[in-house]
Amino acid sequence: MTKAEKIDFTLQTLERLYPETPVPLDHKDPFTLLVAVVLSAQCTDERVNQITPKLFAVADNPYDMAKLTVEEIAAIIRPCGLVPMKSKGIHAFSNTIVEKYDGKVPASFEALEAMPSVGHKTASVVMSQAFGVPAFPVDTHIHRLMYRWGFTNGKSVEQTERDAKRLFPRELWNKLHLQIIFYGREYSPARGWDLEKDLITKTIGRKSEIAKWEKEQLARLKKKSKGKSS
């Protein structure tokens, strides 16, 4: 297959599997999404969705969040991990939104990334999912799959994002990044990966990744066979 054919196959497969792409993090507006995305760092979406109702019952807007102490925020979000950084960040950017933006989350990459605890990936998620601005947030799933599929060299998430934006049509970015995440979780995880179930990688994947998987399977078979014979 040519690179263009591989891209077309990938897009068609993802669209067939995931015609609908609900936002994984529960939220009601840009502010609650911003908080949820910050909480999701090194934490599963499922756990974040368990914690945010408790947090938002107390403060679901920047005015109320800014009135809480860092310690009060920390006590609620503790199960999400990285508590000191996240609680300080949420408190600080809530104050920034109140003081600089009249209580409204700014709809610009520059303004978002200037706020505490808001990096480029977080800003990209908010811009794409809250404001509908084309963006391509790269998480671990996207970084892994873009490499497995031979669409990037995998050296950095920044490079992966540049390659994704170069290869895929801009109008597809907001839906596509979610489709890739869903696919990665279901068919091409980091652990317990089964190439036989991973149609895209099996069809167009990087040869070295496929060979690596086959080598691991062979090693497992040998170990299993050795265990039976001993």
Active site members: 121, 139
Distance CA 172, CA 36 (A): 24
Cα angle 133, 97, 84; round to 5: 100
Widest Cα–Cα separation across the chain: 72
Cα angle 177, 48, 185; round to 5: 40
Distance CA 124, CA 136 (A): 7
Taking a C-beta distance cutoff of 8 angstroms, is the pair 80, 90 a contact?
A: no
Of the candidates 61, 51, 59, the one whose C-alpha atom is nearest the C-alpha of residue 82 is: 51
Taking a C-beta distance cutoff of 8 angstroms, is the pair 151, 201 a contact?
A: no
Distance CA 26, CA 11 (A): 26
Q: Would you tell me the crossing angle of helices 83-101 and 30-39 to the nearest 10 degrees?
A: 160
Taking a C-beta distance cutoff of 8 angstroms, is the pair 147, 209 a contact?
A: yes
Distance CA 42, CA 58 (A): 24
